[in-house]
Amino acid sequence: MTTVIGLLIGLAIVWLVSALIIYVVGRLGLGMTVDGFVPAIVAALVISVIIGIVNWLLGLIGIDLTGNLSIIGSIVALLVSAVVLLISDRFVKGMKVDGFGGAIVAAIAIGVGHWIVNWII
């Protein structure tokens, strides 16, 4: 039971940190805008669900984006993240992605934000 609670707390922390990063990237104007923190929370949830589905589908055809990534794997992961941002734009009211170029820039900024948070922790 304790492991389930710990897992849920960990997921909630990752979700909130992701929402904060999305909010900051949206405020900096790095390829997307977010109207407030609530849309950023919703965006983080939608993005994580879509990423989970995409990773599962890619896993079915033998592509693993979660393991050790080569440069090709990193580029594929970046492109998948950009497409996920574009898809999320359709579902999240209050979030706007500025085309595919904006999605690439936002995906890079979000990835760097996650990297910095993981490095600090």
Instruction: List pLDDT tens digits, range 53-72.
Output: 877 888 888 777 666 656 76
Name the pTM for this structure: 0.77
**Residue 50, both tokens:** 């879509």
Cβ-contact 14, 51 below 8 angstroms: no
> How many domains are contained in the chain?
1
Cβ-contact 37, 16 below 8 angstroms: no
For the segment 19-32, the average pLDDT, to the nearest whole number, is: 87
Residue positions counted in the chain: 121
Range of the domain at 64: 2-120
**Residue 39, both tokens:** 């849309």
Which amino acid, 103?
A
Q: Is the dihedral of CA 26, 76, 54, 13 positive or negative?
A: negative
For the segment 11-32, the average pLDDT, to the nearest whole number, is: 86
